[in-house]
Amino acid sequence: MTLEIETGNLGEVPTSGTGWAVGFSPWTDTPGSLRHVPADTAVRGLCLKWKTHQAGDPQGINKPVSSGRTLSVLVSAESRFRIEFASDAAFTQDVSAVVLKRAGDFVAWGAGVHHRWEAQTGCTMMTLRWEPDADGER
């Protein structure tokens, strides 16, 4: 199984100078982008979390399997936030890790992905979650 994950920095993704990095705009419509939702696709369950974590925050384990799409962005500068992904809850198959280090670094992932995280330093994260209608899923 290939995990559906996208990484980058929101300050560096192509937006034609608009800054719109998530949604239905033509700038988010790149092959394989989890940040794009076609304009004619309804979105359900939109949630936004803004959270300041202390280094070693113990809340990063035992996360439920993901549904829909999730985008986590490191907001604070000079921080480190590690997120691990796997296709199974025991983290023994298809394990992949991403370390967010610069303000704007992001990771997006799709449905059916298990994740856990570690705040390696104190940091502030913004996480956006949504579920495109089934017809809009890529």
Q: Band of the pLDDT at 1, cuts 50, 70, 90?
A: low
Residues above pLDDT 70, as percent of the chain: 96
Residues above pLDDT 90, as percent of the chain: 67
Burial class (CB in 10 A: 0-12, 13-18, 19+), 3: middle
Q: What are 119-138's pLDDT values in tens digits? A: 999 999 999 999 987 654 44
CATH code linked to domain 5-15+44-136: 2.60.120.10
Model pTM score? 0.89
pLDDT confidence of residue 138? 45
pLDDT confidence of residue 137? 46
On the CB side of 35, CA atoms within 13 Å amount to 25
